[in-house]
Amino acid sequence: MDKTLQTVSLYLLSHMGLIFFLYPTDIIESVNIGHWLPILTGFAIHLAVIAMYMKGMSYFPRMDLVDGLRTAGNAVAIVLLLPVAAYLVMICVITIRAYSEVVTIVFLSSTPLWAIMALLLSISTYVAMLGIEAIFRTALLLFVLFIPLTVFILSYAFQNVDWLYALPVMDTHTATFAFVQERSFLLSLFAFSGGFLFLGFVQPHFRYKSRSILWSSLILLPLFLLSVYLPVLTFGQNTAEKFQFPFIMTVDTISIDWLMFDRISMFFLLSMITFVILFLATVMWKLIRIIRFKWNAKPAVLIPALSVALFVTCMNIPDWKHVSDLLWWNTFFRIYVMVIIPAATIVIGVRYRKRRV
Partner 1 sequence: MLRFGKPAIRAAAMLILAALLSGCWDTKDINHRVLPVVMGLSKVDGNYNMFLQIPEPTSDDSKMRIVSDSGETVSDIVDKISMNLESQIDLLHLKVLLIDRKYAEEGINDSITSFIRAQDISPKTMVVICDEPLDRFFDAMSKPDNQESTTLVHFFEKNAGWNPQVAQTRIWQMFRSIHSYTNDTMVPIIRSDDSTVIQSRGSAIIRNGRMVDRITPDDTLMINIFNGHSAQGKIEVMDHANVEIVSNAISHKSRVAGNQTFLECHVRLKVTILETKGEPSVAQVKWELEDLLRKRSEALLAKLQKRKADIVAFGQHFRTKIPRDQLAKWRTDYFPYTDINLQFQVIVQNEGNLKMRKH
Q: What does the alpha-carbon distance between residue 318 and residue 261 come to, in Å, rounded to a whole number?
A: 35
- Compute the least distance from the CB of residue 267 to partner 1, in Å: 14
Nearest CB to partner 1, comparing residues 160 and 331: 160
Interface positions with partner 1 (CB under 8 A): 32-33, 105-112, 115, 118-119, 122-123, 129-131, 133-134, 162, 164-165, 167-169, 171, 235-236, 238-239, 242, 249, 252-253, 255, 257-258, 262-263, 299-300
Q: How far is the CB of 176 from partner 1 (least distance, A)?
A: 15
DSSP string covering 157-226: GGGG--GGGG-SS--HHHHTTGGGGSHHHHHHTHHHHSSGGGGGTSTTT-B--HHHHHHHHHHHHHHHHH
Please, how many CA atoms are within 13 Å of residue 118, restricted to the half-sphere of its CB? 5
For the CB of residue 300, give the shortest distance to partner 1 in the complex, in Å.
6
Q: At what angle are helices 265-291 and 74-106 packed, to 10 degrees?
A: 160
Minimal distance, residue 271 CB to partner 1, in Å: 15
Measured from the CB atom, is 6 or 193 closer to partner 1? 6
Query: d(Cα 241, Cα 223) in Å, to the nearest integer?
Result: 19
Which is nearer to partner 1, 78 or 134 (by Cβ)? Answer: 134
Which residues make Cβ contacts (< 8 Å) with residue 197, sequence separation at least 6?
53, 65, 84, 88, 286, 337, 341
| Identity of the residue, 83 or 304, whose beta carbon is nearer to partner 1 in the bound complex | 304
Q: Own/partner pairs for 334-338, CB < 8 Å, 24+ apart?
A: 334/87, 334/186, 334/189, 334/190, 334/193, 335/186, 335/189, 336/83, 336/84, 336/87, 337/83, 337/84, 337/87, 337/193, 337/197, 338/45, 338/49, 338/189, 338/192, 338/193
Minimal distance, residue 113 CB to partner 1, in Å: 11
* Closer CB to partner 1, 56 or 231, in the complex: 231
Please, which residue, 205 or 207, has the CB nearer to partner 1?
205
Residues written for the chain: 357
- Minimum distance from residue 36 beta carbon to partner 1 (Å): 15
Nearer to partner 1 (CB atom), residue 52 or residue 119: 119
Beta bridge partners of 248: none
Q: Measured from the CB atom, is 152 or 336 closer to partner 1? A: 152
Q: Report, in Å, the least distance between residue 249 CB and partner 1.
A: 7
Closest to partner 1 by CB, 109 or 296: 109
Min separation Cβ 87 and partner 1, Å: 26
Q: Helices marked H in the chain — which ranges?
A: 4-19, 22-30, 36-58, 65-70, 74-106, 113-130, 132-156, 172-175, 183-188, 190-193, 210-235, 237-240, 246-252, 265-291, 299-315, 320-356
| Smallest separation, CB 238 to partner 1 (Å) | 5
